[in-house]
Amino acid sequence: MIQETLKTFKPEQQNLLQILHALQDQHPQNYLTEQALEETARYLKLTKSSVFGVARYYSMFSTTPRGRYIIRICASPVCELLKVNTVIAHLEQILAIKTGETSSDGLFTLELSECLGQCQEAPSMMINDKVYNNLDANRIKTIINEYKQKNHD
In the complex, the residues that contact another protein under the rule CB under 8 A are 34, 37-38, 45, 47-50, 52-53, 56-57, 63
Contact call for residues 100 and 111 (beta carbons, < 8 A): yes
3-state secondary structure of 114: coil
Count of beta carbons in the 10 Å neighbourhood of residue 105: 12
Between 32 and 84, CB nearer to another protein: 32
Q: For the CB of residue 52, give the shortest distance to another protein in the complex, in Å.
A: 5
Q: For the CB of residue 50, give the shortest distance to another protein in the complex, in Å.
A: 5
Q: For the CB of residue 91, give the shortest distance to another protein in the complex, in Å.
A: 25
Between 42 and 130, CB nearer to another protein: 42
Between 44 and 91, CB nearer to another protein: 44
Q: For the CB of residue 115, give the shortest distance to another protein in the complex, in Å.
A: 18
Question: Element (H or E) spanning 43, and its range?
Answer: helix 34-44
Backbone angles phi, psi at 100, to 5 degrees: 100, -10
Contact call for residues 11 and 32 (beta carbons, < 8 A): no
Q: For the CB of residue 16, give the shortest distance to another protein in the complex, in Å.
A: 12
Between 105 and 114, CB nearer to another protein: 114
Between 34 and 146, CB nearer to another protein: 34
Give CA–CA dist 110/124, Å, rounded: 13
Q: Residue 118: which region, alpha, beta or left (left: phi > 0; alpha: psi -120 to 50)?
A: alpha
